[in-house]
Structure 1
Amino acid sequence: MSGKLVVRMAELEIDPDQLEAYRALLAEEIEASVTLEDGVLSLHAVSIKDSPHKIRILEVYASSKAYEVHLRTPHFLKYKSGTAGMVTSLTLVDVEPVMMRAKP
């Protein structure tokens, strides 16, 4: 896929009582997205130390088209519907890469 990279930071807060269930659904969604979608270049999820219910996800897509395709996949829709009652706050922040490197 060609086009300008789409890079986003998702800032989420999860109901602490549902955190483990949320993490399981998130792991399933990330694995499927990276494995099945050529346009999903990377998804990295972390939690804030001492506040494990605060999750941050760095999302990198090959293009805006790849991002739009991602939003319509069965695995993403399953994640969204499955976690709807678990997410208490969601902020999506478009970011510009300064420097990103990873080992293959």
Structure 2
Amino acid sequence: MRIAKIEIAADYLDNYKAILKEEAAASVTLEPGVIAIFPMYQKENPTQIRLVEIYASQAAYQSHLKSPHFQHYKTATLKMVKSLKLVEMASLDPETMSDLFKKMK
């Protein structure tokens, strides 16, 4: 699990959000090892994007990095991203995690 903290150049914000939305949907739909890629933005500062990323395993994450849709996202948004920080996270209650996703159905 990780949180991606991304700052986008304001001039590219709408274009970036469209590309990210497409990439996140493709990742969750096409990759069995991608449990969640949940994009969000700060209401008071929309150029501040946050992604909650959950992968089934480290191998699933490595596979995701090689996927065509992720590679497209990475190259298409390169000039749009002002900063990127990946924060590795660990769950305090992994047993409850599956219940969270069951409720969303």
The normalised TM-score by structure 1 is: 0.91
Counterpart of 1:40 in structure 2 is 34
For residues 19 and 73 of structure 2, the distance between their equivalents in structure 1, rounded to whole angstroms, comes to 6
Q: How does 1:42-81 map to 2 (within 5 A)?
A: 42-81=36-75
Q: 1:24 & 1:48 partners in 2: Cα distance? A: 16
Distance 2:3 2:71 in 1: 19
Give the unaligned 5+ runs of structure 1.
1-6
1:9-53 Cα distance to aligned partner (Å, 9 max, x none): 000000011000000000110011001000000111111121000
* Cross-structure match for 2:11: 17
SS in 2 for 1:19: helix
Larger helix share, 1 or 2: 2
Between the aligned residues of both structures, percent identity stands at: 46
CA RMSD, 1 decimal:
0.9
Give, in whole Å, the separation in 2 of the partners of 1:12 and 1:98. Answer: 24
Which amino acid is 2:79 matched to? G
- What residue ranges of structure 2 are gaps of 5+ in the alignment? none
Aligned residues: 98
Give 1:98 shift.
2.4
Q: Give the TM-score of the pair, scaled to structure 2.
A: 0.90
Structure 1 runs, 4 residues or longer, greater than 6 Å off: none
